[in-house]
Chain A
Amino acid sequence: MSKINPAAPLNPPQPLTIEHDTSAFDCGKAPLNDFLKLHALAKQNAMLSRTYVVTETTTNGMIVVGYYTLTHASVLQSETPKKLGRGMPSTIPALLMARFAVDRNWQGQGIGHDLFVDATRRTWAVMQSGAAPVRFFVVDAKDEEAKAFYERFDMITASENPLRLFFSYKTLRETFAEEIQEG
């Protein structure tokens, strides 16, 4: 089913707007389709999350072929500790890649790989800007297959939740600092 040689070029990820056609999007997972079609724009307008879309320009407009959603998240403790360790914050700010999907017709061409890299680069830009403190980039893998995808980028698995993975601020700083030097 995949388009081996897409005739139309793809547009780089940009924030979702009403101009983007999500109506035909099908990644094979209903909740991810529904989120994009029904909730992504409203949540973005309410400043609860930001959805970035890769689109194909067609005569009918810009058709979404893949997306990811970033949202601010706070890491909290399940129970109030008797005493916070010295210098330990009461919450840790993080960016969560809450959703991530590629249309079935476009799977297997590396769009997921490129979208994920884009998400980490964007996260690093937020971390670096200092506009909001962000200490971790977090993903919740849907299954073992998704987890294996993230591990191929050296994400670390949370010790108590095998499907949650993260990059620390320092890891991204080291990774992207070298990229800038080389560039």
Chain B
Amino acid sequence: MADASYPADLLYHPEHDWARVAPDPADPAHPEATLGITWYAQDQLGEIVFCEPPAIGTLLAQGEPYAEVESVKAVSDVIAPLSGEIVAVNDTLTEEPEKLNDDPYGEGWLVRIRLTDPGEREELLDAAAYLASLG
């Protein structure tokens, strides 16, 4: 399991989710964002043994659950940090859910979405504020 980290280039939702927003020159009003769970989330869950990402085309609403991750012991909802439509999913998690533990900000990404309300970014936390929220 990787050491605790909260990369500065990400935006954070207090329910322990991150978003990496990438500008899209072709559609500047609706950038894409990659979503995942934070180091803290995977550490609290322990070894993740099952994750089935939702289908491409699914609509996400900020603050609402859009996926589930399961440890040996329990199921947890994954909360959408931003609203949008899923354009890609990390299918490798079905076979290798441990990537969520090993590399939560890299190979453990969950979905990529096209944002429907980019203004929602204002409501998310930066790394320092998220880290402070963990107490």
Are A and B genuine complex partners? no
Instruction: Give me the interface of B with A, judged by CB distance under 8 Å.
Output: none
Instruction: Give me the interface of A with B, judged by CB distance under 8 Å.
Output: none
